[in-house]
Chain A
Amino acid sequence: TQLLEQSPQFLSIQEGENLTVYCNSSSVFSSLQWYRQEPGEGPVLLVTVVTGGEVKKLKRLTFQFGDARKDSSLHITAAQTGDTGLYLCAGEDNYGQNFVFGPGTRLSVLP
Chain B
Amino acid sequence: NAGVTQTPKFRILKIGQSMTLQCTQDMNHNYMYWYRQDPGMGLKLIYYSVGAGITDKGEVPNGYNVSRSTTEDFPLRLELAAPSQTSVYFCASSYVGQMNTEAFFGQGTRLTVV
A67 and B38 CA atoms in complex are apart in Å by 32
Contact A45 B103, beta carbon cutoff 8 Å: yes
Set of chain B residues within 8 Å of A35, measured between Cβ atoms:
103
Query: Beyond A88-B42, A97-B48, A106-B40, is A33–B102 a contact (Cβ under 8 Å)?
Result: yes
**Chain B 9-46 near chain A by CB (<8 Å), digits 1 or 0:** 00000000000000000000001010100001111110
A98 and B45 CA atoms in complex are apart in Å by 9
Contact A42 B40, beta carbon cutoff 8 Å: no
Contact A43 B48, beta carbon cutoff 8 Å: no
Within 8 A of A (CB), among B47-73: 48, 50, 58-59
- A84 CB, min distance to chain B CBs, angstroms: 15
Q: Taking CB as reference atom, which chain B residue is nearest A31?
A: B100
A62 and B7 CA atoms in complex are apart in Å by 35
Contact B108 A41, beta carbon cutoff 8 Å: yes
Set of chain B residues within 8 Å of A100, measured between Cβ atoms:
45
Contact A104 B107, beta carbon cutoff 8 Å: no
Contact A103 B41, beta carbon cutoff 8 Å: yes
Flag whether B101 is at the interface (Cβ < 8 A): yes
- B73 CB, min distance to chain A CBs, angstroms: 18
* Contact residue among A42, A92, A103 (Cβ-Cβ distance under 8 Å from B90): A42
Set of chain B residues within 8 Å of A82, measured between Cβ atoms:
none
Contact B43 A101, beta carbon cutoff 8 Å: yes
**Chain B 74-96 near chain A by CB (<8 Å), digits 1 or 0:** 00000000000000001010101
Contact B102 A104, beta carbon cutoff 8 Å: no
Q: Taking CB as reference atom, which chain B residue is nearest A99?
A: B103
- A108 CB, min distance to chain B CBs, angstroms: 13
* Contact residue among B48, B92, B94, B96 (Cβ-Cβ distance under 8 Å from A42): B92
Contact A43 B105, beta carbon cutoff 8 Å: yes
Set of chain B residues within 8 Å of A33, measured between Cβ atoms:
102-103
